[in-house]
Chains A and B, each alone.
Chain A
């Protein structure tokens, strides 16, 4: 029986081997089926191994040292409760994406640009989670970034993708730079890069604060924390849809893993001001992310922006956990931390599902622009059903899983009056209101996404003639939809499974939920608050069935089909339906004028003029225009100035060298 970490590393080796194999045979006919079924098998083995480990006895971590990497350090890998949970997230996403790829991959125009990088990307994410020293961590992190960058650039000739790849590369380098500095600070002057040594060392408050900020920059830019999110809505949609699902559903979670590993595990006991920063950034991210999504007309970009919102929600929960942990309230910290992990798991499920749905729509119609879709519920009945499940789950509506994690976060917030710091006491209700706003906007956003894409009348010929996708894609989506429901109606099992992690990281845990009657969950005590997803589900089913029974027993059965009523005016042109921009109009007017300086310009021709009336919507991205454009402009201007240095005469170069030498020598002289 091989130890758990060896099993995981064997799976990683298998994935890397598959990547090499894919390079060799990527242009053959069977490559797509072979590679995706093999990654499915390997991910499934890794998933089962990690799940058994987490459910078994994860109290004692297992480690593995490989003689590669830095000569005096080697490469350390370790499997503990936290990493096993993230391995489950990674490999569940990987297995689902492979299954989806089995069908979807056959529509790929350039399989040789996707197949080698897909298993390598999965391997990279597995390795980040397993790494146990700073060097391996950064190396695997970069490997993950580069393979995903290659996947983003798979369709590099499509307009916009090259820019997406460039922005992604710049932001990824920036993030890695921040991580590098963070680990440098953590290792200290002694320079021991093993996580065990970092964990054992004590860090001064200055170092701790700096590391926190650097981690927010480094892991936050990978996760999509506002204002470092700019690459995410460009890069995630550019990749093939099952890769988009992995990037949005899983890679952002690996970034969150990095944040948790450093800030909660390696850095030692937190200080409360840290939580203020995290809560602030998290709530801003949640609201801004979903407002961006609301304004979007491209289905995949909408999903990418909604990922930003979910990252914000997770960071809010992590901020609460930091706040409680800093005040020694382990039980409540465990509640908030469990909520964060639960949301990590949930988001990986429904975001993968929704990206698969977007991929299915793309396969069937060739369109990502929602304003060219519509009416797909008639043409793609199965896809539209599972996507509906995904939309309900992500909108945090009971009895699905998204609600449970948001409910747990709100329960943790309701305990914030126990915190001694006034800043936190006053801040948390405001953050709660922001989160409630974000939750309501998510529901609005997904009513829009689903309503415009799947409901109504088809807005284009492609949407009118769409056909249902293949069975592999459908089965991947159905499995994820089922998991969304199961995690929603049996949340107690998930919470109990997460308890070894909170014991490991925080030293406390939530009450055992398996003891609660009827599988309900009670985060603190039943008298305070409890929720039972299973019974809610049963009640809704029973009362809906009762209603249906009575209606069919006593009411008229007559049904007649006719043209839509629409107050007597039926507009025959499908383009006259509510589009995504018109659906967003009330919210654009209420929130967008503030957040995006949104303006509607109506160009109405006078009577008698036959040119069409036009509505132009003016939107500004404040973060791009106020933050990134000035920075990019400053870099451009300074490099233009420096450019002159390249065209000097030899005499001037020599005098420049001489001046530099003298200056450096002077500095040295003054210094010593």
Chain B
């Protein structure tokens, strides 16, 4: 029974918190450069405003262009519903393990990249082609992170991993630290954050994600933006549940543990959002063809973490 409750709560929780997280990151970034910044609630207002606006569709946009926002949103939402946030006992956690969750995000990206090609403008093409290049660089690194994690926890099932790392004494491990850094780098690339892509930029040749969705407007754009908010939340939840499973409510604990878990989860999100904003403010965006070095470093960290685990089980 509690599983259904946890699953349902989580599905709503991620929807409610995702825009807030993005709003918070934007606010902190603004404050760090001594601007007032918009309210943390601004993403909600943006979404509502977009929902009320009419859709301007390019003349030759196909049905694929119109269904993509819903497909990508659905795929990301399903993936986000399967990453433990405040409790591990999700009803459907066995539906997909971490590899499948990453692949679900891949599905979302695939359709978004196709939509970028649909109208036939150069901006869509440049965005799509760069997005798939980033994916090609990020996925090998992601797999090695999964490898490293599965070696420690003996599973790719996120609930099992969180249960294992949260309950038993794992201690500080060098290879987990390497995997954490690597996952952080992959998450930056996947979410289009600085230094890989600039989420705040518009109308520049340097942008990737924004160029791909340039032709979207109105409710379609709202779905895509919401998907992007959710994806950021998903990656932070993923990092939190694997590397900082502190106080996450385990299976079979009472309502108090759930309340504590939820509270701690919000604290983790806040900390992660603050750290992300700090990192983005302190870093400059890279040139496009520097990405291979950035993500190659993530790959090497993942590989090194895995090999260290072979050499010594205690690292």
Contact partner of B303 among A395, A430, A543, CB < 8 A?
A: A430
Complex: A378 Cα to B59 Cα, angstroms: 12
Q: Which residues of A contact B307 (CB under 8 A)?
A: 426, 429
The answer to whether A433 and B104 touch across the interface, beta carbons within 8 angstroms, is no
Complex: A589 Cα to B134 Cα, angstroms: 12
The answer to whether B288 and A586 touch across the interface, beta carbons within 8 angstroms, is yes
Q: Restricting to B58-72, which residues have a CB under 8 Å from any CB of A?
A: 58-60, 62-64, 70-71
The answer to whether A576 and B100 touch across the interface, beta carbons within 8 angstroms, is no
Complex: A551 Cα to B69 Cα, angstroms: 11
Does A407 sit at the interface, judged by CB under 8 A? yes
Does B78 sit at the interface, judged by CB under 8 A? yes
Q: Restricting to A429-483, which residues have a CB under 8 Å from any CB of B?
A: 429-430, 432-437, 439-441, 443-444, 447-448, 450-452, 455-457
The answer to whether B60 and A378 touch across the interface, beta carbons within 8 angstroms, is yes
The answer to whether A532 and B96 touch across the interface, beta carbons within 8 angstroms, is yes
The answer to whether B64 and A455 touch across the interface, beta carbons within 8 angstroms, is yes
Does A388 sit at the interface, judged by CB under 8 A? yes
The answer to whether B107 and A398 touch across the interface, beta carbons within 8 angstroms, is yes
Contact partner of B125 among A388, A535, A574, A583, CB < 8 A?
A: A583
25 contacts between A and B (CB under 8 A): A374-B120, A377-B118, A414-B147, A417-B151, A433-B143, A433-B299, A435-B143, A436-B139, A443-B109, A443-B135, A444-B136, A456-B119, A527-B160, A535-B95, A536-B96, A539-B78, A543-B74, A547-B74, A556-B51, A558-B54, A561-B59, A574-B120, A577-B120, A586-B132, A586-B133
Complex: A569 Cα to B215 Cα, angstroms: 12
Does A169 sit at the interface, judged by CB under 8 A? no
The answer to whether B135 and A531 touch across the interface, beta carbons within 8 angstroms, is no
- With A429-B147, A440-B139, A544-B70 as known contacts, state yes or no: A563 contacts B114, CB within 8 Å: no
- A210 CB to nearest chain B CB (Å): 32
Complex: A403 Cα to B107 Cα, angstroms: 11
The answer to whether A425 and B113 touch across the interface, beta carbons within 8 angstroms, is no
- Interface bracket on A: 35 or more
* Interface window among B27-35, B217-225, B235-243: B217-225
The answer to whether A451 and B56 touch across the interface, beta carbons within 8 angstroms, is no
Does A530 sit at the interface, judged by CB under 8 A? yes
Complex: A531 Cα to B94 Cα, angstroms: 6
Complex: A526 Cα to B114 Cα, angstroms: 35
The answer to whether B120 and A457 touch across the interface, beta carbons within 8 angstroms, is yes
The 0/1 profile, CB within 8 Å of A marked 1, for residues 75-90 of chain B is 1011001000000000
- B185 CB to nearest chain A CB (Å): 15
The answer to whether A582 and B160 touch across the interface, beta carbons within 8 angstroms, is no
Complex: A96 Cα to B296 Cα, angstroms: 43
Does B156 sit at the interface, judged by CB under 8 A? yes
Complex: A548 Cα to B219 Cα, angstroms: 10
> Number of B interface residues, CB 8 Å?
89
Does A157 sit at the interface, judged by CB under 8 A? no
Does A200 sit at the interface, judged by CB under 8 A? no
Q: Which residues of A contact B (CB under 8 A)?
A: 374-375, 377-378, 388, 392, 395-398, 403, 407, 410-411, 413-414, 417, 422, 425-426, 429-430, 432-437, 439-441, 443-444, 447-448, 450-452, 455-457, 520, 522, 526-532, 535-536, 539-541, 543-544, 547-548, 551, 554-556, 558-567, 570-571, 574, 576-578, 582-587, 589-591
Q: Restricting to B109-157, which residues have a CB under 8 Å from any CB of A?
A: 109-110, 113-114, 116-126, 128-130, 132-133, 135-144, 146-147, 150-151, 154-157
Complex: A278 Cα to B289 Cα, angstroms: 33
The 0/1 profile, CB within 8 Å of A marked 1, for residues 295-313 of chain B is 0000100110011011000
- A155 CB to nearest chain B CB (Å): 31
Complex: A105 Cα to B130 Cα, angstroms: 40
Q: Which residues of B contact A586 (CB under 8 A)?
A: 129-130, 132-133, 288-289
Complex: A450 Cα to B120 Cα, angstroms: 13
Q: Which residues of A contact B57 (CB under 8 A)?
A: 559-562
Q: Which residues of B contact A448 (CB under 8 A)?
A: 129, 132
Interface of B is mostly: helix
Complex: A589 Cα to B135 Cα, angstroms: 15
Does B275 sit at the interface, judged by CB under 8 A? no
Complex: A436 Cα to B136 Cα, angstroms: 8
The 0/1 profile, CB within 8 Å of A marked 1, for residues 42-63 of chain B is 0000000001111111111011
- Nearest A residue (CB) for B118: A455
Complex: A456 Cα to B215 Cα, angstroms: 12
- B230 CB to nearest chain A CB (Å): 11
The answer to whether A582 and B51 touch across the interface, beta carbons within 8 angstroms, is no
Complex: A452 Cα to B94 Cα, angstroms: 37
The answer to whether B62 and A455 touch across the interface, beta carbons within 8 angstroms, is yes
The answer to whether A536 and B122 touch across the interface, beta carbons within 8 angstroms, is no
Contact partner of B144 among A388, A429, A559, A561, CB < 8 A?
A: A429
- B181 CB to nearest chain A CB (Å): 17
- A397 CB to nearest chain B CB (Å): 4
The answer to whether B120 and A564 touch across the interface, beta carbons within 8 angstroms, is yes
- A638 CB to nearest chain B CB (Å): 43
- A323 CB to nearest chain B CB (Å): 15
How many A-B residue pairs have C-beta atoms within 8 angstroms? Tell me: 284
The answer to whether A531 and B100 touch across the interface, beta carbons within 8 angstroms, is yes
- Nearest B residue (CB) for A399: B107
The answer to whether B71 and A578 touch across the interface, beta carbons within 8 angstroms, is no
- B138 CB to nearest chain A CB (Å): 8
The answer to whether A436 and B140 touch across the interface, beta carbons within 8 angstroms, is yes
Q: Which residues of B contact A536 (CB under 8 A)?
A: 78, 95-96, 100, 104
Complex: A317 Cα to B18 Cα, angstroms: 39
Q: Which residues of B contact A570 (CB under 8 A)?
A: 121
Interface of A is mostly: helix
Does B292 sit at the interface, judged by CB under 8 A? yes
- With A455-B120, A564-B121 as known contacts, state yes or no: A583 contacts B129, CB within 8 Å: yes
The answer to whether B143 and A398 touch across the interface, beta carbons within 8 angstroms, is no
- A373 CB to nearest chain B CB (Å): 12
The answer to whether B53 and A556 touch across the interface, beta carbons within 8 angstroms, is yes
- With A520-B94, A555-B51 as known contacts, state yes or no: A410 contacts B143, CB within 8 Å: yes
The answer to whether A532 and B106 touch across the interface, beta carbons within 8 angstroms, is no
- Nearest B residue (CB) for A585: B129
Contact partner of B52 among A432, A541, A556, CB < 8 A?
A: A556
- A388 CB to nearest chain B CB (Å): 7
Q: Which residues of B contact A528 (CB under 8 A)?
A: 154-157, 160
- With A443-B106, A559-B54 as known contacts, state yes or no: A540 contacts B75, CB within 8 Å: yes
- B307 CB to nearest chain A CB (Å): 7
Complex: A449 Cα to B142 Cα, angstroms: 25
- Nearest A residue (CB) for B78: A539
Interface centre among A375, A378, A426, A559 (most CB of B within 10 A): A559
- Nearest B residue (CB) for A444: B132
- A446 CB to nearest chain B CB (Å): 8
- Nearest A residue (CB) for B132: A444
- A591 CB to nearest chain B CB (Å): 8
Complex: A584 Cα to B128 Cα, angstroms: 10
Complex: A590 Cα to B214 Cα, angstroms: 25
Complex: A153 Cα to B31 Cα, angstroms: 70
Contact partner of A398 among B59, B96, B128, B130, CB < 8 A?
A: B96
- With A440-B139, A582-B129 as known contacts, state yes or no: A564 contacts B58, CB within 8 Å: yes
Does B103 sit at the interface, judged by CB under 8 A? yes
- Nearest A residue (CB) for B205: A567
- Nearest B residue (CB) for A413: B147
Contact partner of B73 among A413, A443, A444, A544, CB < 8 A?
A: A544
- Nearest A residue (CB) for B66: A559
Does B92 sit at the interface, judged by CB under 8 A? yes
Complex: A511 Cα to B23 Cα, angstroms: 48
Does B97 sit at the interface, judged by CB under 8 A? yes
Complex: A539 Cα to B93 Cα, angstroms: 13
Q: Which residues of A contact B4 (CB under 8 A)?
A: none
Interface centre among A413, A417, A433, A587 (most CB of B within 10 A): A433
- A599 CB to nearest chain B CB (Å): 14
The answer to whether B132 and A578 touch across the interface, beta carbons within 8 angstroms, is no
